[in-house]
Chain A
């Protein structure tokens, strides 16, 4: 259902060749393509017009192996289940490359990130720092191979800000009690939001760099990947596993794939229920919050029964999973799921009949389909705006091709649609787990041969609760040469501008929450009244209370 239906694999290859791109490798679901710098924009534009979504771009320092810096643009054709990885080689001395932001707006952040971390300069676009802090010294790029993972360069001296102007004094975003600081500046005219500026990456932990360092091995990265997100950690460890196993050509036994899928769905159930509770809380319906979380608790117990940990930690390993499930665990899981379904059905009727929920959520924070498409938004946000995108259907991975399920689709694009998409998905996920556990095959849970040859590339994607999670890997010796993670919120936050502009300020907390941005992040916003010039600092809950 993308812009131009009817594209075929051959048409994509033909178009690429016509524009002078060199096809380096054709794999089942990935095309590896090399393009010259001067045709990059044309190629990106024509891929985009053919109906490709933009996934992310990856800057990589390959001076040691090929003498170039490299930039990989990853496009995806959902209908064809095909990734297109464009590689541009960039000489070390003049590391500049044309930007594709005008053609593909979704490339905005990842280009800035490549500029910060690898030192690739972009032309045809305004640039600024995105990921690195302001006082990071110029000319030092953390993801270059000559930068050691444990070095700490002395900070750059910043000029003192002029104090004769009125200056807002934020208490955040480095608030000591919040685990995930994000920072929104909302510019208002009276009660209406005029613009929104997002400043993030305060908690950039350098996980990608650590994964290249000598401290870790392929095996250790599972435990690192799990800790990327506090809610959907299993998604990241699974996606890393998929990318690694695809690059190395490791055949994972079927039973392991089933268990992984089951745990991914359990994670979706508890994540959506958590989010639904938070929405109830923001709308001032705390009784609903308590009851949603009471039901969610059972999903957490299921996770503990299946994996030994409430957060499904420590399950994956190269080529499979670390332990098998016995009958007892499966039976208990099915019982709990039955209870979750009953209780959630009963509670949902009550929740959706609360007048405030319906009236505050319908028609607010609308994301039109065209904007959703331009920004390549993912997950429930895309599906609530009428984009039929779900990695589980488009690029079937693990055991998802073995089960039948529906992908909920709404076209309204408002907050209510985003609520309903997630509500429907909870029920679908329960059914998926039931089907999977019903026909889980017997057999080993870990592949016998687990050799990982160096310098193989792969892209893997998983439908996380918040949308499509993408991992790109270049294998190395003992550990990845480059490992890039693109979490779903990375793709969805830029859509907030489109959702918020021109809407009442009072809807902002709900709309920001509606993309499910790992919620504890968004506890603080800056409200700046452009008419009176006042700067007010509020908690989201204050805003919600009126």
Chain B
């Protein structure tokens, strides 16, 4: 089975996120980069499916040349092929991103046939547009369901679980299909030394293609106004329990 997983390179912020002077990007001068969390789980899921079905995993990213780092990371945990749609590194709006990814997937599929399953992260950790996967799947004519935290491939059918309040929903689709996955679907493995070495040899296919921009434009990023809370310290250790229970009682909970 051939599985494609789309990933996004995002900064790995610490306790605070700073913005560049022009307000157009996260100041990543002192930050490392990582794979957006839902997508890291997507790669793990793709690798597990390929292991079970004797298949192949392709990882696709759209970003600057440095995003090759995230493709190599995916290879170090078991992905087989890496494809980079290179940009100048500026943030692309969701419509433009989706158009470029669609064109990239169409070109990959024209070469080696349709992917049986395409995995997206439910939303990216940074811009969080909640739409790129849906747009790409629709343009490719594939069904897609988001919010997926369980996947079971059974011959030509994929069953997917989505968490709801107090339980889960089950969806069932014929392949080929696409799914938007969420963290919690699995616990991603760490790369082995052997995996790391193998990832250095990954041949990355670079596609240069542009796409028409969408109608949403970034003006500036800023931090929300911090609500400065005057924390009332109720006391130290277990002796503070009565004061804590007074608070709960005031809220009508005791």
A and B associate: no
Using a CB–CB cutoff of 8 Å, the interface residues on chain A facing chain B are: none
Using a CB–CB cutoff of 8 Å, the interface residues on chain B facing chain A are: none
